[in-house]
Every structure is written in structure tokens, then in C-alpha cells.
Amino acid sequence: MIRIDDKKCIKCHACVRDCIVHVLRPDENGTPAVPPDEERFCLNCQHCLAVCPTSAIECNGASPENCAPIGSLPSTNEMINLIHQRRSIRQYKDIEVSQEAMQALIDSLAWSPTGCNVHNLFFTVVRNKSNMDYFRSKMSRVLKFLIRMGIMRLVYPNFWRYMDEIMNGKDVIFRNAPHMVVAASPDDAPCKEADPWIALSYFDLLAQSFGVGTCWSGFAVHTFKWLPSLRKRLGIPRGYTVHAVLLFGYPSVEYKRQTAPRQFQINVI
Ligand SMILES: Cc1cc2nc3c(=O)[nH]c(=O)nc-3n(C[C@H](O)[C@H](O)[C@H](O)COP(=O)(O)O)c2cc1C
């Protein structure tokens, strides 16, 4: 429900202009209001609350007093360095990420944009290394079994190099990371595939600011699809599918320079 404080509202209509679903409209006195039968169309994006210059708007229980003021942003150069210097980390220190960093990373997930602002993603954060070791050993046992049975060779014929590594005990799936975050979305969500990747991309970039390295694990996404017992251990609700997995921890490797990636095909018109 959107509440507008008549005494604070200056009728500038900034909220009206920024309402994506046009449920906020001026009433006969010029005060913005939502017709009761249109409340259900509100996406709870809270743009009205955020844009109001006089803190006159509460949106679905969120009030201006509960929202942080606008803060400073990293400079363009800092942002470019962040993007250019993020590397996929496959060598981790054998320690857990600090509580402070872990909590900030978890808290920040709420700000991830989702299609239609549907806020029903499900995340599992593996915070303890011992829990991560559970997934590691379980996965290793299953993969070795599938390789021995010749099933992996049938399903992934091009991955022979990884099969040898797995048989030699290398953690190809979780890269010895002490932690991972798994993002799942409901099968009926409007942007079920994009939302989890976007959420973990934000997580990825914030992690760098704490000196925490990350690595996507497309392998883990695949394997979780056909291992219901691991999905259960992750607590993935029924009707949800895992779409993105990000490994993280403190890197035990240091890069001395940025890379020079090949440009994509970019059509500027
Ligand atoms: C969707 C996706 C899936 C990936 N899956 C894996 C994976 O399973 N294992 C792995 O070690 N790296 C994985 N990567 C990391 C890529 O190999 C890596 O991003 C690429 O080699 C470029 O290196 P950089 O990230 O250090 O720039 C994945 C990356 C993406 C975007």
C-alpha cells in the first residue's frame, strides 16, 4: 500500500512521473493517490518513495526513515579497474571469508533488479568450509562413478581432459573454493534465467571490494540439475531451478596486470 502524507506532499508529481505502472495519479486536489482497485498493479519498486523530495511517501511498509541517503559512487576509473581486473579465481586460501564481508554480500542481494520486480529468488550461501567440503566429496564420488561407468564420456565427449583431472582427485567443479552462492528462481518467474545471473553478477563485483575472489561454476549449475540429493541439501524449494552458481573466497593468486580480451562483435548504429 502506498501512503502519502498530505502535510509533506508539495504536489510536484515527481512520483507520478516516475511510476512505471501509472498507478499513482493526482486526485481532484492534485495530491498523488493510488485508486484502491489499482493497488494490485503496484510493483513495489519504491521509486515513488525514493524520488519524493519531501519524504512524503511510504511504500508497502517501507518509509523514507528506513532508507539510506544517497551516497557517493566509485569513480569511472575505479569502476573500469573493477571490471578489467576481476579474474576468475581458481586458487583459494584455506580460510573463510570474514563475517563482515559475508554479511554485506548477503545483504546486498536484496538490491538486485529482477524482471517485473518479482522478489522471489532463492539463494543458498555456503558459509562454512565444512559444508562446502560435503558438496565437494559428494560431487567427486558421483562424478568418478559416472566416469567409470562411461556415462560422462557419452554425455560430455569433449570434456575428456576434465575427466582425467576428476579421476586424479582435482576439484574441477568447486575449484577448492571455501564458499559458494547458489541462485535459483521459480519456474514460473517472468525472467527466471536472467534474474539469478544478474543477482550473482552484482555479488561478484561487490566481492572484489572486500578482496574476495570469485569464479562462476557453469559445471555446478549443470550437475545440480541432475543431482536431486545435492539440491535437497542446498534447500532448493520445489518448483525452483538452480540457474547460477558463484564460488568465492580469498584468492591465493595475485595478478600483475590486466588482460587484453578479444573484442566481441559490436554493431554500433
Ligand atoms: C556462464 C559462465 C560459466 C562458467 N563456468 C565455469 C566453470 O564451470 N568452471 C570454471 O573454472 N570457470 C567457469 N567460468 C569462467 C570462465 O571460464 C572465465 O570467465 C573466462 O575464462 C574468462 O576469464 P576471467 O573471468 O578471468 O576474465 C564460467 C564463466 C561464465 C560466464
CB atoms within 10 A of CB 213: 25
Q: What is the pLDDT of residue 155?
A: 85
Given the CA of residue 87, which atom of ligand 1 is nearest to it? 26
Say if CB 95 and CB 39 are below 8 A apart: no
pLDDT of residue 159: 83
β-strands 213-216, 32-33 pairing: unpaired
Q: What is the pLDDT of residue 203?
A: 98
Per-residue pLDDT at 5:
96
Q: In terms of pLDDT, which residue wins out, 37 or 161? A: 37
Mean pLDDT of 25-41: 95
| pLDDT at 199 (0 to 100) | 98
Residues 6+ apart with CB under 8 A from 29: none
Residue 160 pLDDT level (bands cut at 50, 70, 90): confident
What is the reported pLDDT for 76? 98
Residue 216 Cα to ligand 1 middle (Å): 5
Provide the 8-state DSSP code for 30: S
Cα 175 to ligand 1 centroid, rounded to whole Å = 11
User: Higher-confidence residue: 67 or 152?
Assistant: 67
Residue with CA closest to ligand 1 atom 23: 88
Sort strands 213-216 and 25-26 into parallel, antiparallel or unpaired.
unpaired
Using left for φ > 0, alpha for ψ between -120 and 50, and beta otherwise, residue 216 falls in beta
